[in-house]
Amino acid sequence: MFNPKSLVPGALLAATLSLPLTAHAAQPGLYLGVGLGSADDVILDETSAASKVFAGINLNRFLGMEVSYVNLGDYVNGAITQDGVAYEVVGHLPLSPYVDVFGKVGAFDWQVRSGSLRSRGTDRDYGFGLSAEVSPRVWIRGEYQKFLDVDGGDVNLASVSVAYHF
């Protein structure tokens, strides 16, 4: 006996399996963006306002590269400032024509300043997020990034950004 309800699980499975074939959220090309967020320094056990400016290129719908200047904020009543430049490879997984999830991994060339003292180094970073199209050229994204420090001074960044795609 034919039961229409038995078609629903099969239709959902077929739609899910075909999603990567039809979705195309990340389009090849250049983009620029800005973001604001909150950074949490693990060693200092403090949170600070943070910002970033970034530029990237999507080589295809699944792979891109990004460079960003990241200001991780001021700590200890403004006595310590942390910032740097991140160089990352970005992978995209389209969920629909207008939404994708992404992950990124790379290197963070950082500096910490306290008065006249400066400390510099390069460590790894990684992140993930969700990106959604607002208009054909404007996208918003929410993301989490972790800037690793070999000495345990990791900084976590949660941010919301706007990107313009050329």
Contact 59, 66 (CB under 8 A): no
Q: Would you say residue 77 has pLDDT above 70?
A: yes
Enter the pTM of the model: 0.80
90 pLDDT higher than 70: yes
Domain coordinates in residue numbering, the chain: 4-165
| CB contact burial 21-43 (16+ within 10 A = b; e otherwise) | eebebbbeeebebebebebbbee
Residue 66 predicted with pLDDT over 90: yes
Q: Are 123 and 152 in contact (CB under 8 A)?
A: no
Q: Is 159 exposed, middle or buried (0-12, 13-18, 19+ CB in 10 A)?
A: buried
pLDDT tens digit string along 96-144? 889 999 999 999 999 999 888 998 999 999 999 999 999 989 999 999 9
148: Cα separation from own chain's centroid: 15
- What is the third-level CATH fold of 4-165? Porin (2.40.160)
Q: Which helix (DSSP H) or strand (DSSP E) does residue 14 occupy?
A: helix 7-22
Cα–Cα dist 26/58, whole Å: 7
CB 3 within 8 A of CB 139: no
Q: Which two tokens stand for residue 6?
A: 């038995």
